[in-house]
Amino acid sequence: MEDLTKTQLILLTLLISFVVSIGTGIITVSLLNEAPQSVTQTINRVVERTVERVVPDVTKPTVTKEVTTVVVKEEDLVIDAIDKNIKSIVRVRSDDGTFVGLGIVVSKDGIVVIDKKDITSDKSYSLTFFDDKVISAPVLFINDAKSIAFLKAPKEAVQTASGFYAFYPATFSDSNLLKLGQTVISLKGEKTNSVSIGRISRLVLSGTDSTGPIISTTTPTLILIETDVSSRNEVSGGPLLNLNGEIVGVKISDVAGNSNYLPINNIKQEILSTITS
């Protein structure tokens, strides 16, 4: 051993290691062949799991997710809400041309809801739509309790050579979900469309007066929406919208204050029953 060089010592060590590993492998195989089946199954499972953890899965492609941030401005929401309702607003005039107020289309067959102020059941009224089309419509129903009236364009009046005139019903929200400080949009104007933007300043519930809440056995309901919306160009029947373009309130003559509105839930049931009747 002392006469061997360093290179020879290294080669001798590798040879011994190789022989030992072969001997170990032969002994291991012999022992496994003689071992009970339960022991070999356990060893095989351990080996398989070890291989699964070590060997990467190259069959699955790498998925890269791209995240895009979209900034929505309140101005864009306001514009979209207005555009969504322009076709649903009509201007109502009496036979002599006197402006009565704004109306809201509530059905595809031409039913319009308006403030009952200056409306009598024995007259017809002209409806001017967004495209300046004028249709004469009789009174369908007046609800004095809710201070609203319904007009309906006769079927023959909306029939054209190419078919029937298309009406665009408005979408109603749940006014009970309104919050203080929420942004609202008022559509108004006697001759042209006018818009005011503000916020809800107060939500008046039933069973409430100037001194505070009144004890009541019934569940309080929203009866008035107070806003800081400008009263300029205010007309009866004008809708109050949320930023989704849904109507949350209507300006009627019985509501005190130019910037106050009747919650849409107060008249929604009458609207729905009129449409389905």
Give the class (CATH, top level) of 74-276. Answer: mainly beta
Q: What pLDDT score was predicted for residue 113?
A: 96
- Long-range pairs, 79-82, Cβ under 8 A, ≥24: 80/245, 81/185, 81/241, 81/242, 81/243, 81/244, 81/245, 82/185, 82/187, 82/195, 82/241, 82/245
E strands present in the chain = 89-93, 99-105, 111-115, 124-128, 134-143, 148-152, 159-160, 163-164, 183-188, 194-205, 208-209, 212-213, 222-227, 239-241, 247-250, 260-263
**Mean of the per-residue pLDDT values of the chain:** 83
pLDDT, position 173: 95
Mean pLDDT per 10-residue section of the chain, whose length is 277 residues: 68 76 71 60 55 54 70 89 96 93 94 93 92 93 92 77 83 95 96 95 78 54 93 92 96 88 92 82
Q: Tell me what pLDDT residue 7 has.
A: 76
Model-level pTM?
0.70
* 51-105: pLDDT as tens digits: 445 445 556 666 667 777 767 789 999 999 999 999 999 999 998 899 999 999 9
pLDDT value for 51: 46
Per-residue pLDDT of 31-48, as tens digits, reads 656 656 655 565 556 545
Structure confidence at residue 256 (pLDDT): 83
Q: pLDDT value at position 215?
A: 46
